[in-house]
Chain A
Amino acid sequence: MNDNKTHISRKDFFRYLKNEMTDSERNAFEKELQKHPFEAEALEGFSGYKPENIENDLNDLQKQIAPVKQKNRFRFMAAAATILLLITAGVIWMQIQTENKPLQTVETKPVEKTEKSAEKYKPLKKQTVQSEVDEETKMVEQPVKREKSPEKETAKLPQKNAARSKKKTEDNVSTKNAHQVLMIVEDFDSDETEINEDNDKFRTAKSAQQRKATTNSKSFSGAAVTAQAPVAAPVAAVAPEGKIVEDSDARPVTGLNKYNAYLDSTAVLPANYKKRKEKIRVKFEIDTEGNLYNFQNINRADTLLFNKACEIIKNGPHWSPEIKDGKQIATTVELKVIFRKKQKR
């Protein structure tokens, strides 16, 4: 027992009742009881009851007294506030991490071919669709001679479009003249190998017809593809000689992942540039031979950077032209080049 205390504590009471005190401690405790009648009477009351039962009873009573509840509530609030603080810190940290991570996105947007370009850049190949094709037929593009004049084709275009829009409502599939596709290249995992895999899937014209609606997502497995208008499915076309030609968008021959890496490495801002990064949206056309021309500054970005972006695109990997209905055709492509400052390591 602590002699400095002005009164006997509850703990001392129970030590005494449980016979946990030494003889000298018991004597000191009993002397204190002689001075304090309240404690002495209480101890008289406790005699004959088990100390454990008394403690339980007192705990029950304690629960009915306000301060204990208040204390618990405070502890709960403090714990909740701490957890909230940790979650907030975690979210902020993750955001910072995400911001620091370099992101390179390239958008390719095949757009409607103009009448002019249709005239200027005649498709070189002709396709012939067969209803059934032997599974062992090789998939090789076959150049064919153009049969119709561009003038005739242009004249027929409105009628064709009307017929196509009617078809859109029926099966949500149309030709590429009306489509616009946004491809997020980071997730876009298409390359030469994949195209070949897709070719296998479309060995027969019959099966190609059945898969029209799903082909696009299949050919770019794992890619996030947003179609603003019904997207034309790649159609397996077969040349007169029996060779299948796969429809595809204009794309870098190295594949978009490598192209993306190329842009990332070359699109570097000068160290003293005012901004941390700059986006340049470049629109250009690709002819049937994969030549790039007619570069346009879509977002009116810094001319110097735009010129630099054009230079990077021109000097970069070669582009393969778009193939539609087994023919190579001229296309317009939109590309987002993001210039960043070189990170110090």
Chain B
Amino acid sequence: MQLIPLNRNKKAKTDSELLETFLNNNNQEVLGELYSRHMHLVYGVCLKYFKNSEKAKDAVIELYEKVLVEVGKHEVGNFKSWLYVVAKNYCLMELRKTKPGNTVSVSSEKEMEIFMEKEVDLHPLDEEQNAALEKALANCIEKLKAEQQQCIRLFYYKNRCYHEIATTLNIEEKKVKSFIQNGKRNLKICLDKQK
């Protein structure tokens, strides 16, 4: 029951709309709403790199402050993709500070801008396929190593989850992910050669 009519849910604004609103009126609450939509992803990425929940939490807050300053300085086409790069770079920079001997690749400003301009670069396996692409893919899959071939067939054509594939092939889930990733990269190389 809706007791307070003023509190009815409005149609949620898109990321682009919120970003535009923030850039127009510099309202931090708007950016806060936009950031909190993707905050769990930022936290996940920070956890991956820092492997410490407290450090990761601090990083999430610091990244919010960084975004607050930086978002107006760049032409952001896709906020989520831009945030991913910013978060990843921040984590890598922090790791480089703590471990000066290690070399960690950090995306340059130029790379960031390029990344922002294009949407996620989909693999042919993840795209909608036409007859020609299907035939080319079938040829390339035949050329993959046995484990990669099995994992890709079970995952994309038999719609099995990682866990099921791991059980079927009697291997670890991490290995399944790895075979799929490596198989996709080899397929792309193969498809590019055929063009």
Q: A residues near B, CB below 8 A?
A: 7, 10, 13, 23-24, 26-28, 30-31, 34-39, 41-46, 49, 53-54, 57-58, 60-62, 64-68, 70, 74-75, 78-79, 82
Contact = CB atoms under 8 A, between A and B. Distances in A.
Interface residues of B, number: 49
A46 B39 contact: no
A60 B126 contact: no
Contacts of B41: 38-39, 42
B29 A58 contact: no
A79 B3 CA distance: 9
Interface in B82-133: 83-84, 88, 120, 122-123, 125-126
Interface string B163-178: 1100000000000000
Contacts of B46: 45
B159 A27 contact: yes
B164 A42 contact: no
Contact of A65 (B32, B120, B126, B156): B32
B48 A45 contact: yes
A57 B43 contact: yes
B57 interface: yes
B44 A24 contact: no
Contact of A42 (B40, B156, B161): B40
Contacts of A65: 32-33, 35-36, 39, 64
List the 6 closest A-B pairs by CB distance, nearest first.
A42-B44, A45-B48, A45-B47, A26-B161, A66-B32, A45-B44
B6 interface: yes
B33 A41 contact: no
Contacts of A13: 40
B43 to A, nearest CB: 6
Given A37-B120, A49-B47, A74-B7, A58 B39 contact: yes
Contacts of A23: 160-161, 163-164
A7 B14 CA distance: 12
Contacts of A62: 36, 39
Given A57-B57, A67-B30, 7 more contacts: A13-B40, A34-B125, A34-B184, A38-B38, A41-B45, A49-B53, A61-B39
Contact of A61 (B43, B49, B156): B43
B36 to A, nearest CB: 5
Interface in B58-73: 60-61, 64
B195 to A, nearest CB: 22
A7 B80 contact: yes
A64 B43 CA distance: 14
Contact of B44 (A30, A43, A79, A82): A43
B26 interface: no
Contacts of B32: 65-68
B162 A30 contact: yes
Contact of B161 (A10, A30, A64): A30
A65 to B, nearest CB: 4
A44 B156 CA distance: 21
Most B C-beta atoms less than 10 A away, residue of A10, A35, A45:
A45
24 contacts: A23-B161, A23-B163, A27-B161, A31-B156, A34-B180, A35-B126, A37-B84, A37-B120, A38-B83, A38-B84, A41-B44, A41-B48, A42-B42, A42-B43, A45-B46, A57-B43, A57-B53, A58-B43, A62-B36, A65-B35, A66-B28, A67-B32, A67-B33, A78-B6
Contacts of B6: 78
A42 B40 CA distance: 8
Nearest to A58: B40
A44 B44 contact: yes
B69 to A, nearest CB: 15
B81 interface: yes
A78 B161 contact: no
A28 B42 CA distance: 22
Contacts of B35: 65
Contacts of A54: 40, 43
Contacts of A24: 159, 161
A70 B29 CA distance: 8
B44 A36 contact: no
A13 B29 CA distance: 25
A70 B38 CA distance: 19
Interface string B15-43: 00000000000001110110110111111
